[in-house]
Amino acid sequence: MTSSLNLWLIPMLPLAGAAINGFLGKKSSRTAISTIGLVFSGAAFAWALSVVLRVSSVDLPYQEYVAHWIRSGNFTADFALYLDQLSLVMLLVVTGVGFLIHIYSVGYMWEDPSYYRFFAYLNLFMFFMLTLILANNYLLMFIGWEGVGLASYLLIGFWFTKDSAASAGKKAFIVNRIGDFGFLIGLFLIIQHFGSLNFVDVFEKVRPLASETTGAGFLTAIGILLMVGACGKSAQIPLYVWLPDAMEGPTPVSALIHAATMVTAGVYMVSRSHMIFERAPAALTVVAVIGTLTALFAATIGITQTDIKKVLAYSTVSQLGYMFMACGVGAFSAGIFHLMTHAFFKGLLFLAAGSVIHAVGGEQDMRKMGGLRSYIPWTFMTMGIATLAIAGIPPFAGFWSKDEILWKAFSSEHGSWVFWLIGVITAFITSFYMFRLLFMTFFGDYRGAQVDSHGRASHGHDDHGHGEPHESPMVMLVPLMILALLSVVGGLVGIGNRFEHFLAPVFGSAEVTEAAGEAAGRGTELLLMGVSVLVAVLGFILAYVLYVSRPYLPQKIADGLNGFYTAVLNKYYIDELYAKLFVKPLVDGSTSILWQGVDRKVIDDTVNNAADGARQVSDEVRHMQSGNLRSYAGWIAAGSAVVIAYMIWLGVGR
């Protein structure tokens, strides 16, 4: 424990980059801006790698005190960092994928007039995200938690002259605040019961507590409240509504923040709090049910979307649901495993989608794409790999992690065949909508207009002239290739439960459940694995039939389903429902009842009437009340004089 890892450098480096670009970027050249942005995010990645090399020299969990923050009575929260196997995995994912997306952004955002602002925000995001991961207490984690929300707000609304982008940013922030409200209450409960928010202190005190199997106690309450927070940040039912709208942001943002890293913060937070959840089975069930329902629900919406990014957005919501399903059945390491592989293939999917959008001049509607594979072969190839990965085709990364989740959902003590079944159905839908996306985009004939510099989406980026769809520059393709490689091999770390063993010091009980599971039946596991591969292939076949060999069918089916199809297409009208149920009553009620009613009619009128009444009573002295401020002041002064005289008399009189 003698050597210091200097973990603090990891978040501070991107913060420095954000500050430099934020304050000086406006007058800097694009090259200088890119250099700053890349050097500082790359340095964070390099430092994270060096931490990996040096981690054997310290005992994990390793803690690093940086500075005092809050002291109030005997409550303290400090700037102090914490590293264990879990944060190490997160650290590598965030800095690694983050750095790749920084590189990609150089190409994607090059022509944007606010280039410097983009990199400043992106680096700022890295700072907050790394703070979130490395915090040694819930309050510091909350800094990162709200901070990534800020970065998300700024980046979703990056093209703020567009009303939809500005609204989406605001919506994301407010919906996240609803989650944070729950998170905060959870923190208050933790303070109340454990007197601290330090992970080590809290978990030391939780460890000896009995599991709340007989009735819900405060651990259950804490767990559910933390989950409310996670529902906001990780876009789970009922708070998922902001994430699809968040696609208004530039595509690298969708990849980094709204797929690979920030939205997984809820999964990380729940996993970090596993000690609490493991002793609160009711809370675990809540997590599992929300995760499972969200996975299925969002996947069904994914089928009908025609905007390439919207499909991926709903897919992200759905995949996050898988991760919560894992956490909810107590298989935290499986959840983190999927978090990691998802960061690879979903990050890749978004970046590839960005490359597609770039190629067709800002078009995002898949109905106007098609046949792109010959124009942009590299994008096609990498996106194809990512699709295979997310669909759960072996041996790609997603197969291993998704299968691990499904198996745990079935076999763990908190699991149930219901979770498994819904998970498998979702896997089928996932495979279907992903291959649908691939086929609509890359197969068949090109349905878009000849791309030129006129009449395209007002994104502001990508303003150069086009002929036909063209492949992206190397600076964008290299990150795609690296992520494609990771999407192929990233799952292999899960073979033989190596990933689970690595995380075992954090989640503890891994060995036990594994042993029990193994005894229950290697055969069952293989059988279930077979089922999930089968549904993935079925999804592929169905998509092939509908979108390649018989492309006239989907419209027919949609017509046949009529009302239901319209409902799904309109995302089950959840946004409209929320608007009608919450937003409108709040605005109308505040206007007509509170402001015009209570404030104006009740309070002000009462006061004015009282004043009028008093005025009538004192009609004889009306001439004194000229309504003139100076004379009021005079009367007040005179009155005060009388009062003082009375006071002196009092003093003398005793």
Partner 1 sequence: MNIDNLSPFILTLVTFAPLAGALLLVLLPRRDRDIRIFSLVISLLTFVLSLHLPVHFHRGDAGFQFAVDRQWISSPNIHYHMGIDGISMWLVVLTTFLTPLCVLISWKSVHDRVKEFFILLLIMETALIGVFTSLDLFLFYFFWEATLIPMALLIGVFGHERKVYAAVKFFMYTMIASVFMLAAILWLYANTHSFDFVTIRDLIASGKVPNFPAAAQWLFLGFFVAFAVKVPLFPFHTWLPDAHVEAPTAGSVLLAGVLLKMGTYGMLRFNLGLFPEQSRHNAPWVMILALIGIVYGALVAMVQPNMKKLIAYSSVSHLGFVVLGIFSFTQAGLNGAMFVMLAHGVSTGALFMLAGILHERRHTYEISEFGGLASPMPVYAASYLFIVLASVGLPLLNGFIGEFLVLSGAFQDRAVYGILAATGVIWSAGYLLWMYQRVFYGKITHAVNNSLPDLSGFEKAAVWPCAAAALVMGVAPILWLGAIDPAVQAALISFPQVVSKVVGQ
Which amino acid is residue 641, in one-letter code?
A: A
Stretch that binds partner 1, among 43-51, 142-150, 474-482, 570-578 (CB under 8 A): 142-150
Q: How far is the CB of 114 from partner 1 (least distance, A)?
A: 9
Binder of partner 1 out of 19, 39, 184, 558 (CB under 8 A):
184
651 binds partner 1 (CB under 8 A): yes
The DSSP secondary-structure symbol of 137 reads: B
Task: Report the residue from 30, 170, 368, 470 that binds partner 1 according to the rule CB under 8 A.
Answer: 170
Residue with Cβ nearer partner 1 (557 or 610): 610
Contact status: 515 vs partner 1 (CB under 8 A): no
Of the candidates 360, 361, 371, the one whose C-alpha atom is nearest the C-alpha of residue 551 is: 371
The Cα–Cα gap between 446 and 455 comes to 18
Contact 363, 117 (CB under 8 A): no
Complex with partner 1: residue 60 or 185, whichever CB lies closer = 185
From 272-280, 303-311, 481-489, 633-641, give the range in contact with partner 1 by CB under 8 A.
633-641
> ω into residue 394 within 30 of 0, thus cis?
no
Residues 314-333 that bind partner 1 (CB under 8 A): none
Question: What is the phi/psi pair of residue 422, to 5°?
Answer: -65, -35
The DSSP 8-state label assigned to residue 604 in this structure reads I
Q: How far is the CB of 178 from partner 1 (least distance, A)?
A: 6
Contact with partner 1 (CB under 8 A) among 19, 49, 55, 174: 174
Q: Which stretch binds partner 1 (CB under 8 A): 28-36, 377-385, 573-581, 590-598?
A: 590-598
Minimal distance, residue 595 CB to partner 1, in Å: 5
User: Whose Cβ is closer to partner 1: residue 203's or residue 375's?
Assistant: 203
**Rule CB under 8 A: is residue 598 a binding residue for partner 1?**
yes
Residues 37-76 that bind partner 1 (CB under 8 A): 68-75
For residue 82, the cross-strand partners are 63
Choose one: 161-169, 272-280, 481-489, 564-572; the region binding partner 1 (CB under 8 A).
161-169
If one asks whether residue 125 binds partner 1 (CB under 8 A), the answer comes out as no
Residue 277's Cα: distance from chain center in Å?
Answer: 21
Report d(CA 361, CA 356) in Å as an integer: 9
According to CB under 8 A, which one of 166, 289, 421, 537 is a site residue for partner 1?
166
Instruction: Between 519 and 650, name the residue whose CB sits nearer to partner 1.
Output: 650
Task: Find the shortest distance in angstroms from Cβ 256 to partner 1.
Answer: 21
Interface with partner 1, residue 135, by CB under 8 A: no
Helix (H) or strand (E) holding 187: helix 163-194
Contact pick of 55, 58, 66, 191 for partner 1 (by CB under 8 A): 191
Beta bridge partners of 81: 64, 135
Total binding residues toward partner 1, as defined by CB under 8 A? 65
Determine, following the binding rule CB under 8 A, whether residue 27 of this chain makes contact with partner 1: no
Tell me if 178 contacts partner 1 by CB under 8 A.
Answer: yes
- The H or E element containing residue 81 is strand 75-83
User: Which residues, 6+ apart, have CB-to-CB distance to 190 below 8 Å?
Assistant: 138, 196, 197, 202, 222
Q: 307 by DSSP, 3-state: which?
A: strand
**Contacting residue, 39, 46, 49, 181, with partner 1 by CB under 8 A:** 181
Quote the CA–CA distance of 359 and 368 in Å, as a whole number.
12
Which region among 162-170, 272-280, 345-353, 518-526 touches partner 1 (by CB under 8 A)? Answer: 162-170
Tell me if 570 contacts partner 1 by CB under 8 A: no
Encode burial over 95-123: b for 16+ CB neighbours within 10 A, e otherwise.
bbbbbbbbbbbbbbbbebebbbbbbbbbb
Instruction: Return the number of the residue (464 or 654) whose C-beta is nearest partner 1.
Output: 654
CB atoms within 10 A of CB 457: 14
572/646 with CB nearer partner 1: 646
Provide the β-strand partners of residue 80. 65
Contacts (CB under 8 A) with partner 1, residues 599-628: 599, 603-604, 607, 611, 627
Q: Between 79 and 502, name the residue whose CB sits nearer to partner 1.
A: 79
Of 164-172, 207-215, 286-294, 554-562, which segment contacts partner 1 by CB under 8 A? 164-172
Looking up tokens 């292939």 gives 537
d(CA 216, CA 469): 58
Q: Which residue has the tokens 């507590």?
A: 209
In whole angstroms, the minimum distance from the beta carbon of 277 to partner 1 comes to 21
**Which residues does residue 65 pair with via DSSP β-bridges, in sequence order?**
80
Closest CA to 415 of 537, 528, 503, 492: 528
- CA dist 279 and 212 (Å) reads 6
CB 18 within 8 A of CB 123: yes
For residue 47, give every residue at least 6 positions away whose Cβ sits within 8 Å of its Cβ, in sequence order, or none. 6, 9, 10, 13
| Contact window for partner 1 (CB under 8 A) among 144-152, 259-267, 448-456, 493-501 | 144-152
Are the beta carbons of 396 and 385 closer than 8 angstroms? yes
* Runs of H (alpha helix) within 417-497: 417-442, 474-489
CB of 611 to partner 1, least distance (A): 8
- Length in residues, the chain: 654
Binding span for partner 1 by CB under 8 A among 170-178, 237-245, 335-343, 405-413: 170-178
Exposed e or buried b per residue across 9-44, where buried means at least 16 C-beta atoms within 10 angstroms of its C-beta:
ebbbbbbbbbbbbbeebeebebeebbbbbbbbbbbb
24 binds partner 1 (CB under 8 A): no
**Of 147-155, 389-397, 427-435, 493-501: span binding partner 1 (CB under 8 A):** 147-155
Residue 512 structure tokens? 């036990």
Which residues contact residue 169 at a Cβ distance below 8 angstroms, ignoring those fewer than 6 apart?
152, 153, 154, 155, 156, 157, 160, 246, 248, 249
Contact window for partner 1 (CB under 8 A) among 309-317, 389-397, 448-456, 632-640: 632-640
| 363/354 Cα distance (integer angstroms) | 10
**Interface with partner 1 (CB under 8 A):** 68-75, 139, 142-143, 146-147, 150, 153, 157, 160-163, 165-167, 170, 173-174, 177-178, 180-181, 184-185, 187-189, 191-192, 195, 586-587, 589-591, 594-595, 598-599, 603-604, 607, 611, 627, 629, 632-633, 636, 640, 643, 646-648, 650-652, 654
